[in-house]
Structure 1
Amino acid sequence: MRGPLRAVREYPRRAPLTFGYVCLLLVGYPWVYYGLSDDRSTTLLGYVSTNLDNLRDHPVTAMLGSVLFIQTTLSDVASLEFVGSLITVGLGICGFLAWAERRWGKARAAAVFLGGHVVATLLTAVVITVGLRNGWYPEAVRQASDYGISYGAQTVLALGTLALPRWGRLHWAVFVLGWALGGAEWDGSVPDFATVGHLIAAVLGFALAAVLAFRRSRDQVAATPSEQVH
């Protein structure tokens, strides 16, 4: 029991950036959902949604503002949506973002998280644009509510395969992809844009994990003294 308690006690010191970010999310959640009026909350969240209209009008504000709020529930603990919150916030942010911060430092961990969020959002916008031209999505998707931490968290979840033993990595990859597809809504052969974004974010995380694993393997080989041939 002393091990877990010690880990919790040392968490702010070992992962200060992640700890501060989690505190910000936990403060922002009750403020936006319970502190503001319904009209103000809707207006604020609509402004930071990374939909096509906002990305054309105020892309930077939408991108940065989006990751300040949690879109899933933290209060309805009996719902399936709360399970999603545990995966996104608990595993993704509190778990693997903190792990990345401890392993590579604050700047690189933040770059992975924000990079996954931004790149997945932009690529999803491309998919939506193509989808609108081909009739895959309704026109209302241009103004859809799409904010939150999930794309960045999904990237970190996928990157977290490096934190696992080799025998568990394939299972974890299946879980990450399955989690992304679990709540998908399909319009013919095309999943909803949020699912597309989560899949893109996962691919980004897996790709980065593969690159880092290759580099580590190469460095280990280079550091091994070559055997002399007699």
Structure 2
Amino acid sequence: MERTVKAGATGPASAGAAAPSDDAGLPEVAGLLDGVPRQRGPLPDAAGATPAAVVAGGEVSVPAAVVAEGEGAASRVRPLRPWRLLPTPTGTPFTFAFGAVLAATTLFAAYADPALVHALHQGSSTDVAHLVRTPVLVLIASALWTAGGITAPYTLGFLLVLTALERRVGGARTAVVFLAGHVLATLATQVPVGLAVLAGHLPGSSLHRLDYGVSFGVAASIGALAGLLRPWLRWPALALFGGMLVQDLLNLTDPLTNWGHLFALITGVGLWPVVRRWHKSRGHRLSRS
């Protein structure tokens, strides 16, 4: 089946020139189109078969397969949907559920008794003392609090970055990236503190400090997500975020935490081969469903 499109007129015919007949063939018609660039197309075969798109009798015949291909490409252009930047229960269940927990603990920290909140923060802290006694418990509990409230940069970054990452690789794999940054950056900053205390370079009070929040996991997720972006967006985003982390480190605001953020970002970048493979396999699976 072919779809037929009327060809436009090329201008008045010369005086005395006979109009081309229906069976004049391609050469006569092509002569009326002098000066118009010719498009490359399939050549006739040895038996003189007509091309895929032919001009005959003032009509252009286009195979239905070609028309369908063009219409399919147009249908694949999706409109901009800003709401996809935020988590949803069905589209990004991990980020949505995790975000709901963070919202609850943040509201609790804002309105509960300050002494109780401080005790819970201290009990959830991933300092050296807690990591030695209950490592699994505090590594999980410390990621259930936000530092700085619901409008803090890392809290907003959690919603946007993890939503984007989960839409590309899935919820379970997003959790792996987050936990990898959270756990590895915590150990990379706290283990040296414990060794320094053992060596006598730091006081024993260094074993007890507040260390909680989602910032390590978010920093790793930013690094991993950058590997799935186009180069024109990937490198400026990494330069901007990495520059902010280096600036914080140079300002000595909180060296231990600042080093942790930088290490978490490097962890996310190191996961590029893995997240790209996850993204590719997820795309194949969705295309088959």
The percentage of counterpart residues that share the same residue type is 26
Which residue of 2 is the match for residue 17 of structure 1? 94
Asked if 2 retains the 8 angstrom alpha-carbon contact of 1:176 and 1:202, the reply is no
1:176 to 241, 251, 258: 241
Aligned partners of 2:259, 2:232: CA distance in 1, in Å?
Answer: 28
Q: 1:132 to 1:180 in 2, by over 3 A?
A: farther
1:65 partnered with 2:141: yes
CA deviation digits over 1:21-41, x for unaligned, max 9?
Answer: 111111110112312x12111
RMSD, matched Cα: 2.8
Map Cα deviations across residues 204-230 of structure 1 (whole Å, 9 max, x no partner): 0011125545x69xx9xxxxxxxxxxx
Could you say which structure has the larger radius of gyration?
A: 2
Give the Å deviation of 1:126.
2.0
Higher relative contact order (CA 8 A, sep 6+): 1
Query: Residue 54 of structure 1: which of 120, 130, 133 is its match?
Result: 130
Distance 1:138 1:171, change over 3 A: farther
Query: What is the CA distance between 1:109 and its match in structure 2?
Result: 0.9
Amino acid at match of 1:202: L
Where do 5+ consecutive residues of structure 1 fail to align?
Answer: 75-81, 220-230
Distance 2:255 2:102 in 1: 26
Deviation digits for residues 172-208 of structure 1 (CA, Å, limit 9, x no counterpart):
2122222323333539xxx711111111101100111
Match of 1:192 among 219, 233, 255: 255
Alpha-carbon contact 2:106-2:145 (below 8 Å) kept: yes
Are positions 1:32 and 2:95 aligned together? no
Q: Any stretches of 5+ residues in structure 2 without a counterpart? A: 1-78, 282-289
CA offsets, 1:134-175, max 9 Å, x none? 676554321110001011111001111123211222222122
Per the normalisation by structure 2, the TM-score is 0.62
Specify which structure has the higher proportion of helix.
1
- Number of aligned residues: 201
Cα-to-partner distance string for 1:42-99 (whole Å, 9 max, x where unaligned): 111000000011111211111100011101233xxxxxxx5xx23x2223x2122122
Alpha carbons of structure 1 residues 143 and 112: separation in structure 2 relative to 1, 3 Å = same
- Contact 1:48–1:147 (CA<8 Å) still a contact in 2? yes
TM-score (normalizing by structure 1): 0.76
Question: Which residue of structure 2 aligns with residue 203 of structure 1?
Answer: 266
